[in-house]
Amino acid sequence: MNTRVVQQILPARSSRDGDGVRIQRVVGQRQHDMDPFLMLDEIRSDDQADYVGGFPPHPHRGIETLTYMLSGGFVHEDDFGNRGELRNGGAQWMSSGRGIIHSEMPLIHEGLLHGFQLWINLPAAHKLKAPEYRQATAEELPLITLENGATLRVFGGSWQLDGRTLGSPLDSMAAAARSLDLHLPAATALRLELPASDTLLAYVYEGALEVGSTIQKGQLVRFSTGEQVTLTAGKQGVRLLLLAGTPLGEPIVQHGPFVMNTEAEIRQAIADYHAGSLSNTH
């Protein structure tokens, strides 16, 4: 089997989004070599000034979002009447399809807020489908402890491990996208097999990861293609998000919250939003 190696290492960069929310942006929308992933943000602060403004109502078309919380929480509301409270260890998935307007506001006003949001590109054939929303609590997400003390929480899609399928109830993501929260104790390792051509990313949020190169806290690694990868924890252990998905290989044209395949489709999305018809079919 071909073993994956480090292809690229990227640092998270401080930014603000929504109503002044301080974030660490790990993957930006124009990272074509991350296909099908468009964006990964980490929010992590115990200063309410960094997050209290939240993300007031805003539109999307052509993408899916997957949000995963470690501490604190958000409440999601959208123009289709969906409402969901996302709390410690839980996740929520939203497929914007042809259009949705939603808000994500913090459930706490003091203490630590720590979580992640991933944007996944929708294939051209699904960009104008009906929007969808689902959520799962921490208790509903598979949490596996291995003999070496490693823990895996699958919060999106499904993974194969030693002949077992570990599946999240959030299982309808585009491009076979899947995600897990992996904790490896010091000097332990995990070997995974996956389709050779899939995109594979790992973002370290605690400790350090050894993969031929040392990946530090706040860094993302993009791996080469290959049928297997071995992840080894550093001396202090490691906590990371592991993301995999099938590249779509389609043109990407992005304007803020709209991600389509052509400039004309972007212009149409903007016009529909201003006309109040973002969710209508054409």
Binding-site annotation: residue ranges for Fe cation: 58, 60, 102, 104
SS3 18: coil
User: Identity (one letter) of the amino acid at 17?
Assistant: D
Report how far residue 75's alpha carbon sits from residue 251's, in angstroms, rounded to the nearest whole number: 33
Annotated binding site: 58, 60, 102, 104
Peptide bond into 11 cis (omega under 30): no
Closest residue by Cα to residue 172 from 160, 182, 158: 158
Question: Residue 136 and residue 144: Cα distance in Å, rounded?
Answer: 16
Run of H or E residues at 269: helix 263-275
Q: Which two tokens stand for residue 47?
A: 């200063």
Say if residues 177 and 244 touch (Cβ distance below 8 Å): yes
